[in-house]
Amino acid sequence: MFCGSIVKITGVKVYPLKFRPIYKQRIWGGQKLKEVFNKDIPAFEEIGESWELADLPEDKSVIANGEIAGQTLSWVVKKYPEQITGNKNFATPFPLLIKFLDADDILSVQVHPDPQTCRRLGKGQPKTECWYIIAAAPGAVIYKGLKKGVTKGQFAEAIENGTAAELLAKVPVKAGQCHFLPAGTVHSIGAGLLIAEIQTPSDTTYRVFDFNRVDDAGKPRQLHIEEAMESIHFGVRSSELPVTTVGRLVDCEYFKVDKADQGNGSELLLSPGKMKTMIFITGCGTLLSADANPVEFRAGDTILIPATYQGAIRFADDTQYLTVTI
């Protein structure tokens, strides 16, 4: 059995942190988060998003395990920055937002701004993201970027005519793929997809088309056509945006994502030095340390591993997981 150690911080021991999911009802959501991950979502509600790790002004993840359960992610990082992040001068907010998305129906056609666009518009927060496809119905697609040669004028006319989706690059997808979407990429998620979304901490979304849907009150959702047209990077082809399936999935200036598999009964040593966030896609197991309570995990859990933590993971089933570092 592995014997590791952890570092004490003012009477509190650093340990792997689990968080209470923040559920978001969406017009395109469903119940797959309960079916696949046994999430405790409200029955019969269209839950499109489960925010697993968040530090936004209106949505802050709350720690669900151990001595500091009930405190927020923001609180623990501010109080113990070096022990959690490895940097005593670490600046908040936490630089990641991690979600699970259940696209039971198609999402709106939308775009997120880059830093330059935010400065130009004088509002919003930039957002770069990636989508890891956990499950995909037969024939499932995403829309990623514009078709070759589509100009700003052509896209503006298509928005006016209600045909904007026809100018998007339609990309078939399957489980195990990771699609990188830098800020400025116009996009949409098709129906029948369960996705892990890793992104910069922003909820700025500009919709340009919503497939003529209305909400429960019979009203269309708000569009942000002017801001979206300012944000879209025209001329970027879908084929230029990486699609990966093994190893290092994403390596951008904001975050890195790695994919790995471990077999039933195997162990993985966790050495101190670098904070990491682990997203468990399948399987189950236990995080162990010599002088701390074990932390169990199962598929659908997201766990923050502090920089000073030393221990091991014992896998009780075949497990696939993503590791996110900054």
Which CATH number fits the domain that encloses residue 163? 2.60.120.10
Predicted TM-score (pTM) of the model is 0.93
Q: Is residue 197 part of a domain?
A: yes
185 and 225: one domain? yes
Q: What is the pLDDT of residue 205?
A: 97
CA 323 to chain centre: 12
Q: What is the pLDDT of residue 237?
A: 81
Q: How do beta strands 12-13 and 8-9 pair?
A: antiparallel
Q: Is residue 249 part of a domain?
A: no
Q: Is residue 66 part of a domain?
A: no
Lowest pLDDT segment from 40-44, 73-77, 170-174, 248-252: 40-44
Q: Which residues carry out catalysis?
A: 207
CB 293 within 8 A of CB 247: no
- In this structure, the number of other CB atoms found within 10 A of the CB of residue 316 comes to 15
Does residue 167 register a pLDDT over 50?
Answer: yes
154 and 33: one domain? yes
In tens, the pLDDT along 88-134 reads 999 889 999 999 999 999 999 999 999 999 999 999 999 999 999 99
Round to whole Å and give the CA distance between 179 and 49.
18
Q: What is the mean pLDDT of residues 217-226?
A: 90
In tens, the pLDDT along 245-292 reads 999 999 999 999 999 999 999 999 999 999 999 999 999 999 999 867
CB 325 within 8 A of CB 319: no
Q: Is residue 141 part of a domain?
A: yes
CA 11 to chain centre: 32
141 and 283: one domain? no
Q: What is the pLDDT of residue 5?
A: 40
117 and 143: one domain? yes
**Minimal CA–CA distance to 224: which of 81, 117, 323?**
117
Mark which of 220, 244, 268 sits at the end of a domain: 244
Q: What is the pLDDT of residue 282?
A: 98
174 and 131: one domain? yes
Round to whole Å and give the CA distance between 249 and 266.
23
224 and 185: one domain? yes
Rg (CA), the chain: 20
Q: Is residue 67 part of a domain?
A: no
Tokens of 56: 């936004």
Round to whole Å and give the CA distance between 35 and 226.
39
CA distances from 272 to 5, 265, 305, 323 (A): 10, 23, 9, 15
230 and 259: one domain? no
Q: Is residue 309 part of a domain?
A: yes
134 and 211: one domain? yes
270 and 240: one domain? no
Q: What is the pLDDT of residue 212?
A: 82
Q: What are phi and psi of 229, to 5 degrees?
A: -65, -30
Round to whole Å and give the CA distance between 28 and 308.
40
Q: How do beta strands 311-315 and 284-288 pair?
A: antiparallel
Mark which of 203, 221, 244 sits at the end of a domain: 244
Identify the residue whose tokens are 């002088």: 291
Length in residues, the chain:
326
Q: Into how many domains does the chain fold? A: 2
Average pLDDT, the chain: 93
* Residue 122 structural domain: 21-60+97-244
Rounded percentage of the chain residues whose pLDDT exceeds 70: 96
Q: What is the mean pLDDT of residues 76-90?
A: 94
Tokens of 233: 């990077």
145 and 207: one domain? yes
221 and 282: one domain? no
180 and 297: one domain? no
Q: What is the pLDDT of residue 12?
A: 61
